[in-house]
Structure 1
Amino acid sequence: MAEAVTDPNLELWPIGNCQVSGLIDQSASLVWGCVPRVDGDPVFCALLNGEKRDSGVWRFELENQTSVTQHYERNTAILVTRLESEDGSAVEIRDFCPRYERSGRMYRPVAFARIVRPVSGVPRLKVTLNPMRDYGATIAEKTNGTNHIRYLVGPQAMRLSTDAPVGYVLESRYYRVEADQHFFLGPDEPFVGNVRSELRRMEQSTARYWKLWVRGLHIPLEWQDEVIRCAITLKLCQHEETGAIVAALTTSIPEAAHSERNWDYRFCWIRDSYYTVQALNRLGALDVLEKYLGYLRNIVDSARGGQIQPLYSVMGEGELDETTAAHLAGYRGMGPVRKGNAAYKQIQHDCYGQIVLPTAQAFFDRRLLRMADDNDFESLEEVGEMAWKMHDQPDAGLWEFRTRQEVHTYSAVMSWAACDRLAKVAANIDKADRQQVWQERADAIRAKIEDKAWVENGQEGGHYGASFESDYLDASLLQMVELRFLQPDNPRFQSTFTAIEKTLRRGEHMLRYASEDDFGLPETAFNVCTFWLIEALHLAGRDEEARTLFTAMLSHTTESGLLSEDLDFETGELWGNFPQTYSLVGVINCAGLLSRPWSEMR
């Protein structure tokens, strides 16, 4: 019998429907899934539950199992897993969360669907279904009927409706699988209709939804499969009810082993979301942008012209108190497991630009169902006022330092971008007086950045510093071209790029910074920074090197085609929360930059 996988790793396969999501591991186990939404209680928490392998999990396992193979159905979020045993018996498991239009609305229940099909021999299967509650504090109490099991996972319950033998599921006992079996874990209400026919219909409708969504994407000629998979996963990171986009689906996967850099990423960072909608917009996925713009309008309304937080809950809640889950051991026992994120209290001035930039598109893009109007411009000017007011004030920066503040160059450049784009919007809607105001402000911020952020360095030509007060470097300076603050051939950008490569590059990877922070020296590369390096190499005309590095980064993706936040630049192992939107954005953007044009199709 093959040895079971007991040591958690990031070879995980996301499923979801923009309401709930789950992560399936290499043993066909649902090891992470929160209800009733992404930032809810992880009823499936085996990923962070230490050696408690059978708690917080939903696993299918063959008797004398020898192998597992997995893939997604093409252009969908439906996972197909094949389990084989030593006698040649095999089953196929199809995992998905239903998502399709029904009765004029998108049907996306708080539900996980799993279909088991015998495909060879006479397989004997064991089902282990033990959801937990209160962040791993207890196994959920359960009751059952003839064809269902009810799990009390919190104030509400979930119900498993199935045509499999309920007794075998309750006792986690091996049994023969002689026909297809269907499992629907969803709302605590009687399942309407025949579970077999209904789940097959749900699967077909869900597959059709995803295939039609992918069909509308504008993708590059090369790396199509990689881009499509990243695009689908980015969409799964959006909470469709409000339009919020979370940074990742998990909490507390450490950035490096035993580093205690364990953070809860199941929230909407204004910064991360900006990069996500920017990448998906380049693919033509306007549905994500439109939903997110609605979320931003609510955030701006709630702020009433005041300070914008760097992150909010998917429902727009501002208070995200950070505590620890005492009953969860953590990823590979490397706690703590955090819920909530104290970064919401931080001052991060780059967020104003990251609200203005995606919103500005709504004044120009005639494809949108709702284009922005004068009222929206007035609200956006309030955000711009804050950018202008705070452009030269200290903040925690995009890397969210917890113990120090400086005037970070990236934040100042984002403030410049806010004023610059407001000037362009004003010109587009014939407000010449406001255009002049915002252009003058943009020019003033530019002059200050050139004066305060530039560091002379003798014969080496100098470079921009990461902050106005210091001369250290960080990878965010490479974004000065992407934000259109500088042109690629600008001598100051070129000398800054040279200095960044020399200081922060580690072979095929890039650090975000090399100086000590609140937790010491960084131990892993930050994946999005490596993609920024690849973009900069392309802009510098070093395309062959850029393609080589891009290929190397793709070799580090999981079998599901995805990336986490961080990577050990010596061992190649992935670390950090998963799947990380920043990293997937990097794949999409670099593929678009480096791909041969469609005119060369052959």
Structure 2
Amino acid sequence: MRQRIEDYGIVGDLRTVALVGRDGSVEWLCLPDIDDPACFAALLGDERHGFWRIAPAQGGPCTRRRYRGETLVLESEWDTPEGHVRIIDLMPPRGRTPDLVRIVEGVSGRVAMRSEMVPRFDYGHVRPWLTDRGDTLLGSHLHGTVGAVAGPDALSLSTPVPQEVSVEDGAVHSRFEVSAGDRVAFVLTHHRSHEPEPEPVDPERALAATVDHWEDWVGRTRYRGEWPDAVRRSLVTLKSLTYAPTGGIAAAATTSLPETIGGVRNWDYRYCWLRDASFTLLALLGTGHTDEAKAWREWLLRAVAGDPTQLRIMYGLDGRRRLPESTLDWLPGYEGSAPVRIGNGAASQLQLDVWGETLVALHLARSDELAEDVDTWNLQKSLLDFLEGHWDDDDNGLWEVRGPRRPFVHSRVMAWAGVSAMVRGVERFGLDGPVDRWRALRDEIRTDVLTRGYDAERNTFTQFYGSEGLDASLLLLPRVGFLPWDDHRVVGTVDAVQRELSHDGLLLRYHTHADDRVDGLPGDEGTFLVCSFWLVDALHGIGRDAEARALFDRLLSLRNDLGLLAEEYDVRTGRQLGNVPQAFSHVGLVNSARILSGIRGPGTDTAGMHEHPGQ
């Protein structure tokens, strides 16, 4: 039976992430990087598409699992009639090549174990050629090595226990037993097939180095608020999605996990979205991770450099702009949720809010005194020049609606926020620019939104001009300072969004339109977790703190046993939905915890960019 999305834990090396199920099976791993093709893709199909399971021979899910302290070292334990066994999974900090280390530790009794690896390159499409490479001295033990090669990719699996290569089914099998005190290691290494095969890492040294790495990183966290364990685990999760060479942060580790089981809204999230920039910067700056915030800002600057008319809503982890979308028809999809997609066609959409998000993010980075070069302000002015001429264009909106373009309220408000950030750049930092013209533009946008985006009869802002529908992004209007929290229009909007978009207390993004179709189908989706965190912030902002805390506690309860959140949650089935782990969900958790804890400064408020005009 297919494992639930919340049944997966993760390990990673800051360039890629492996998903490990409760049954000890690695069912998703892209190599060498997170947006490269998967060599284990059973997550989106079945065992024919690649997996690697190590577990007691009797099978079944683990009895319990946890991360070792505040690291990304995963420990899964089985209590069996014969004894107690533990599997330690990790990916050590990347050297020349990526390594996945799995250590089987006997705790008590004597337990029969089984390892079965079925590598399949190119997302389960290509069966590699398997060969026995002989023995290698690794540490103080001889390890037998099996190689797998196809096209540009090569894997080597090293272990001291005998390995049986089955050419017929393209699998590598090992059967062995562990008693109390035994430790049996497996090391899987990837390299390009035209390069010399690297020596596998020493598993015990790799374990020690990985623990030290994460303990050192978490030790730099500065957070003194409530829910510290949840916040630090979310920060570790965000760090795991960081692409170390560039500082980019992937939205999630997976592609095509569905927004509803059996549905067609299955997207590739292994890329960097500009819409996440300011929220992520706030979460990192507000918890002391200035190096990561700086790296993320530098990635942002490189990605958006160039002609502002060519700004994309998302980029590759290395900053590339072309992310062509295609389908993998040989994969049936998670629980039959097809098609499976790689790339993302939404990259070419017009989403005007990203110009505002980028300007706000760069302003916030300047406010927190991250070192910058002289060209940053010139880049901001170039972005604003485009926004000045296009802020009132119809666009696809924050949620990448694949229907017709519309005058989305959130897009207009973020354009306003971007202009406001530029005005503050002049007022606060003495930077150069036509500030009087920018102030007039700021006021023009604000007047337009208040006049055309607000429904006075219902006392709420609407999703787009002329619409009766609502959108959870409306909760962000006071967050960026468009109106104060105690304004009756803000309170009315919070009430309306909570009333009309709530599903058993959690929020949908919006109600899908008849013309908001994917592959000809309107499609359903679960409640969107970051929207519910925004509701936490909004309820706190309008003075309903007890209600905000109750909702936050409920959201914490939706995490899996390892503290991980996907993109969405299905209240009908009690299951997580969408790609996992979702950076936006964890950013929302961190920022909401800081807001509820009464922590001022980065991560809790962007409204200080300007003053509220009394209108």
TM-score calculated relative to the size of structure 1: 0.91
Matches within 5 A, 1:159-170: 159-167=156-164
Q: 1:241 — aligned with what?
A: 245
Q: 2:141 — aligned with what?
A: none
Q: Does 1:69 align with 2:64?
A: yes
SS at match of 1:174: strand
Matches within 5 A, 1:235-314: 235-301=239-305, 303-314=306-317
Q: Does 1:60 align with 2:54?
A: yes
Distance of aligned partners of 1:362 and 1:536 in 2 relative to their CA distance in 1, 3 Å threshold = closer
Q: 1:501 — aligned with what?
A: 498
Aligned partners of 1:254 and 1:260 also within 8 Å: yes
Q: Give the Cα separation in 1 of the matches to 2:524 and 2:55.
A: 39
Q: CA deviation at 1:425?
A: 1.7
Q: Does 1:212 align with 2:200?
A: no
One-letter amino acid matched to 2:289 = A
Q: CA deviation at 1:60?
A: 0.5
Q: Give the Cα separation in 1 of the matches to 2:278 and 2:535.
A: 19
Q: 1:478 — aligned with what?
A: 475
Q: 1:354 aligns with which of 339, 352, 357?
A: 357
Q: 2:88 — aligned with what?
A: 94
One-letter amino acid matched to 2:591 = N
Q: CA deviation at 1:521?
A: 6.3
Structure 1, unpaired ranges of 5+: 100-105
Q: CA deviation at 1:56?
A: 0.9
Q: 1:406 — aligned with what?
A: 406
Q: CA deviation at 1:234?
A: 0.8
Q: 1:544 — aligned with what?
A: 546
Q: Does 1:339 align with 2:342?
A: yes
TM-score calculated relative to the size of structure 2: 0.89
Q: CA deviation at 1:515?
A: 4.2
Q: Give the Cα separation in 1 of the matches to 2:270 and 2:324.
A: 13
Q: Does 1:32 align with 2:34?
A: no
Q: CA deviation at 1:97?
A: 1.1
Q: Give the Cα separation in 1 of the matches to 2:436 and 2:207.
A: 55
Q: 1:435 — aligned with what?
A: 435
Matches within 5 A, 1:2-21: 6-21=2-17
Distance of aligned partners of 1:168 and 1:258 in 2 relative to their CA distance in 1, 3 Å threshold = closer
Q: Give the Cα separation in 1 of the matches to 2:66 and 2:157.
A: 25
Distance of aligned partners of 1:596 and 1:339 in 2 relative to their CA distance in 1, 3 Å threshold = same
Q: Which runs of 4+ in 1 moved over 6 A?
A: none
One-letter amino acid matched to 2:147 = R
Q: 1:364 aligns with which of 364, 367, 376?
A: 367
Aligned partners of 1:566 and 1:575 also within 8 Å: yes
SS at match of 1:361: helix
SS at match of 2:47: coil
Matches within 5 A, 1:18-167: 18-49=14-45, 52-53=46-47, 55-65=49-59, 67-88=62-83, 90-99=84-93, 107=95, 109-146=97-134, 147-152=144-149, 154-167=151-164
One-letter amino acid matched to 1:304 = D
Distance of aligned partners of 1:465 and 1:273 in 2 relative to their CA distance in 1, 3 Å threshold = same
Structure 2, unpaired ranges of 5+: 135-143, 601-615
Q: CA deviation at 1:7?
A: 4.2
Matches within 5 A, 1:425-574: 425-431=425-431, 433-457=433-457, 460=458, 462-516=459-513, 517-518=516-517, 519-520=521-522, 522-574=524-576
One-letter amino acid matched to 1:199 = P
Q: CA deviation at 1:288?
A: 2.0
SS at match of 1:388: helix
Aligned partners of 1:254 and 1:334 also within 8 Å: yes
Q: Give the Cα separation in 2 of the matches to 1:283 and 1:432.
A: 31
Q: Give the Cα separation in 2 of the matches to 1:265 and 1:141.
A: 31
Q: Give the Cα separation in 2 of the matches to 1:447 and 1:543.
A: 31
Distance of aligned partners of 1:493 and 1:182 in 2 relative to their CA distance in 1, 3 Å threshold = same
One-letter amino acid matched to 2:43 = L
Aligned partners of 1:62 and 1:84 also within 8 Å: no
Q: 1:103 — aligned with what?
A: none
Q: 1:593 aligns with which of 588, 592, 595?
A: 595
Q: CA deviation at 1:76?
A: 0.5
Aligned partners of 2:85 and 2:104 also within 8 Å: yes
One-letter amino acid matched to 1:339 = I
SS at match of 1:95: strand
Percent identity over paired residues: 31
SS at match of 1:553: helix
One-letter amino acid matched to 1:174 = R
Q: Give the Cα separation in 1 of the matches to 2:456 and 2:484.
A: 20
Q: Give the Cα separation in 1 of the matches to 2:217 and 2:436.
A: 41
